[in-house]
Amino acid sequence: MNSPATPRFLALWFPHLPAERHRRQARDWPADAPGALVARVGNRQQLAAVDAAAAAQGLAAGLPLADARARVPELRVADADPAADAALLARLARRAQRLTPTVVADPPDGLLLEVGGSAHLFGGEAALAARLRTRLTARGLTVRSACAGNPAAARALARFGGTGAGIGALPVEALGLAPEASRALRRLGLGRIDSLARLPRASLAARFGPEAVRALARLLGEAPVPLAPEPPPAPLAWTKRLAEPVLHGDQALRLLEALLETACRALEQRHLGGCRFEARFERSDGAVFALAIGCSRPQRMPQRLMQLFRERLDRLRDPLDPGFGFEAIGLSVPHTAPLPPRDVSLGAVSLGAVPADTPAEEEMGELVDELSARLGREAVRCFLPVDSHVPERAARSVPAQEAWGHRPAGGAPAPGWPTPPAGEPPRRPVLLFDPPQRIEVLAEVPDGPPHRFRWRRRLHQVRLAEGPERIAGEWWRHAPGRRALTRDYYRVEDGEGRRFWLFRHGLYDETAAPAWYLHGLFA
């Protein structure tokens, strides 16, 4: 077991980081569909990154898009966004600083962590690496990891090493040389690091240049690898300590407003906005009164934030009680997000190109924040789309502030909701029964639409029917040997003009007696 003072490095490699980043943010790629990001190089488009499904079918970065579509016709593509990839890697590096202070981004798709002094706090290197892999995999990221005594070796093992592989067994590509140099080494029969290490360094430098010798020395731990970790960002927290305790709640709130102005100026300098603000009122008797607000979009307007704090205070059962007086007031911003300067237009000249929310969208965001501050964040909820073809699984309920936060600035609410063509009624109702309600149905033919049905002891004569919309069962959710039944949905209208959404659960070749259910009502 290594002593805590021994330098040890953990390398993380994300082989499909750009494609998985897009899949998490855009939500327009099915989970099992191969996907790739494309970029224009010269006069042609080529793959810039692929996901695991596309890589399994032989696609790789650098392949022309036309060739990729010829090999995999169902390939989903989107434009590459290197800036978004770099931002995600930076966020991952900041979060990894909770485990060790020395974290270095290894662009474009890796991280290096110095864990010699912290791995023992998490049960050792293997336990720490397993913990990181579990968390990152849960976020939809493919990751490989390796530990070594120097950063170059850890990086090479994560990217090129297999289970139990040593440095000597790595391919020469692990040196990070130009592809032409690696091909030349292979033509000479020097395809592994151990065969290369046996050569005299002078002849290696004469044939392939001094960079090959330096790369080999760094990989073998014979030369240091300089690392320049980014310092963790200074915490966004301020405290106002008072010479004399404040005996009135209004005075304390005025001091809080002054702290908010200071916080908003600091956020503006960093081009950030706060998503959560936490205030602390420390009384002279040792009691602490904590108050927090959340924002659906990044915010740095002190008047607006103060209004939310007042809304929150007005709805609390226990008011802001100074007791013997507040001797300190603190404010922190634990959750921030990028918020560039607003777009300012002077006639035909525009300063900046960051789109802003329209007035109606700003008002809606303010309403969401006010209701959440007044009633509680969990009490005000919205729905977000989920990639599922089963109707009751196609949406999830989340706090409204979270749902509003998924909107792009200046854009529509969260993408993914199906919309009917202009002039046509919706194909699915907004109101669904959970669970669907059992009904009695008479159909003219076994696999045909319902002729009449009984629901809640009332008989409905079907005047119009449209369908079926066939939805296959989710076979992967059922136990082995148990068949997932198909649903046939119908939109029907009774003699009084009321419209219903019905489905037959099971085809006649799947079950002897298919059941009928009422799943929703059209407005």
Model confidence over 7-47: pLDDT tens digits?
Answer: 899 999 999 999 999 888 776 677 678 899 999 888 888 99
Question: Both ends of the chain: CA-CA distance in Å?
Answer: 68
Q: What is the pLDDT of residue 319?
A: 72
Which stretch of 89-98, 237-246, 461-470 has the lowest confidence by average pLDDT?
A: 89-98
Q: Are 11 and 154 in contact (CB under 8 A)?
A: yes
Q: Which tens digit of pLDDT belongs to each residue from 81-101? A: 898 899 899 889 988 888 888
For residue 130, give the 3-state DSSP assignment: helix
* Helix axes 179-187 and 201-208, enclosed angle (nearest 10): 120
Q: Which tens digit of pLDDT belongs to each residue from 134-192? A: 989 988 899 999 999 999 999 999 999 865 668 888 999 999 888 888 888 899 888 89
Q: What is the fold of 237-339?
A: Dna Ligase; domain 1 (3.30.1490)
What CATH number does domain 9-151 carry, 3.40.1380.10, 3.40.1170.60, 3.20.20.70, 3.40.50.300?
Answer: 3.40.1170.60
Q: Which tens digit of pLDDT belongs to each residue from 286-345? A: 888 899 998 888 889 999 999 999 988 887 766 778 888 999 999 999 888 888 765 444
Q: Which tens digit of pLDDT belongs to each residue from 254-266? A: 999 999 999 999 9
Can you tell me the distance from the alpha carbon of 455 to that of 462, in angstroms, rounded to the nearest whole number?
12
- Predicted confidence (pLDDT) at residue 123 exceeds the cutoff of 50: yes
pTM of the entire structure?
0.53
Can you tell me the distance from the alpha carbon of 516 to that of 493, in angstroms, rounded to the nearest whole number?
16
- Predicted confidence (pLDDT) at residue 204 exceeds the cutoff of 90: no
How do 35-41 and 76-79 pair as beta strands? parallel
Q: How confident is the model at residue 414 (pLDDT cuts 50, 70, 90)?
A: very low
- Predicted confidence (pLDDT) at residue 383 exceeds the cutoff of 80: yes
Q: Which tens digit of pLDDT belongs to each residue from 1-18? A: 444 457 899 999 999 999
Q: What is the pLDDT of residue 164?
A: 63
Q: What is the pLDDT of residue 59?
A: 92
**Rg for the chain, CA atoms, rounded:** 30
- Per domain, the residue ranges of the chain are 9-151, 161-219, 237-339, 431-521
- Predicted confidence (pLDDT) at residue 516 exceeds the cutoff of 90: yes
- Predicted confidence (pLDDT) at residue 272 exceeds the cutoff of 70: yes
Which neighbouring-strand residues pair with 351? 344
Which neighbouring-strand residues pair with 276? 294, 335
Q: Are 172 and 190 in contact (CB under 8 A)?
A: yes
Q: What is the pLDDT of residue 271?
A: 86
- Predicted confidence (pLDDT) at residue 410 exceeds the cutoff of 50: no
Q: Which residue in the block uniquely carries the two structure tokens 């039944």?
A: 485
Q: What is the pLDDT of residue 425?
A: 72
Q: What is the pLDDT of residue 278?
A: 94
- Predicted confidence (pLDDT) at residue 49 exceeds the cutoff of 90: yes
Which residues have C-beta within 8 Å of that of residue 253, sequence separation ≥ 6? 306, 309, 310, 313, 320
Can you tell me the distance from the alpha carbon of 218 to that of 150, in angstroms, rounded to the nearest whole number?
8
Q: Which CATH superfamily is domain 161-219 in?
A: 5' to 3' exonuclease, C-terminal subdomain (1.10.150.20)
Which stretch of 304-308, 355-359, 444-448 has the lowest confidence by average pLDDT?
A: 355-359
* Rounded (10°) CA dihedral 378, 379, 382, 387: 40
> 48 or 475, which is more confident?
48
DSSP state for residue 379 in the 8-state scheme? G
> 198 or 165, which is more confident?
198
